[in-house]
Each structure stands twice: as structure tokens, then as C-alpha cells.
Amino acid sequence: MRIEMVKPYHPLVSGIPAFVTTDEIYVSELADDLEVIMDAPYEGPCPGFETQQVPGRTRHPVLFSRPEGSGSVVSFTLGHCRGRFDVADQGMDDLGVTDTAAWESPEFRAVLRRCVDWAVHGDDVAQCDPGDEYSKELQ
């Protein structure tokens, strides 16, 4: 799936280009107060999820923040790895390997690092410039 930056100047994704990865969309109802930062195509339906289809939605957030009390929270839904034992109940063959999907992407790792940094230090620290350690991995 192609991951797009909805807010390309947001500190969590500033300087990170759109990228393609293999992962899952977690289909769910969304709160009204979300600030969507990254999204991906959504074509539904998604059997097996509690919310199997969301009418009228063609994109689905994969990185968003929302207010919580006097602060805010961020949710980054990419990063599911499929291990040897995840597929047995789906009737799929065990290939003997772990599919690390998004974890192979330097863009994913850069955003994840920024999310952790933001959670620990707050909004200001997440504003990274092209010379920071996150951006170096993308070069």
C-alpha cells in the first residue's frame, strides 16, 4: 500500500516522502477530533474486523493524533509483523520466516522514532531538520 503524508509539514513526518509498504489497515470507527497525519488507500470490506466496512471512506488514517485531557495522544498503526504462528489459524502454510513488512522501510522507522521522541519529550523535540539522525537513515 502507498502511504501518503496528509500533513507533510507536521513534525512527525516533515521531510519524509510518501512510501510503499506491506501492512494491514486497522479498520475501525474514528473519533471526530482526529488530526490525520498519514493515510493509505481503503477499499473495504475487511472480513474479520469488528467494523468490516466504513461506507464512503476511500482513505484510512495510519498516523493520527487527538487531544486527551490537557495533552494529546498519537496513534501509528503500521508495523504489524507476521510470524510463523500468526498464519496457522488462517489456513495458510508456514513459510518458516517472519514477514517484517513495514519494519524494512526506513520511512516507517523514522516516523516511529519521531513518535517515541514526541511521546517522551513533547511536540518541540519532534521537529527534526535534514541533518538529524532520522533523516540520515533516509539518505
Q: Distance between CA atoms of 8 and 15, rounded to whole angstroms?
A: 7
Cell 523514522 sits on residue: 110
Q: pLDDT tens, 83-98?
A: 666 555 555 666 666 7
What local confidence, expressed as pLDDT, does residue 68 receive? 86
For the record, the C-alpha cell of 92 comes out as 495458510
pLDDT band (50, 70, 90) for residue 100: confident
pLDDT (tens digit per residue) in 43-78:
766 666 656 666 666 788 999 998 888 888 899 989
Confidence (pLDDT) at 47: 63
Q: What is the pLDDT of residues 6-47, one digit of tens each?
A: 999 998 998 899 999 887 777 666 777 889 999 988 776 666
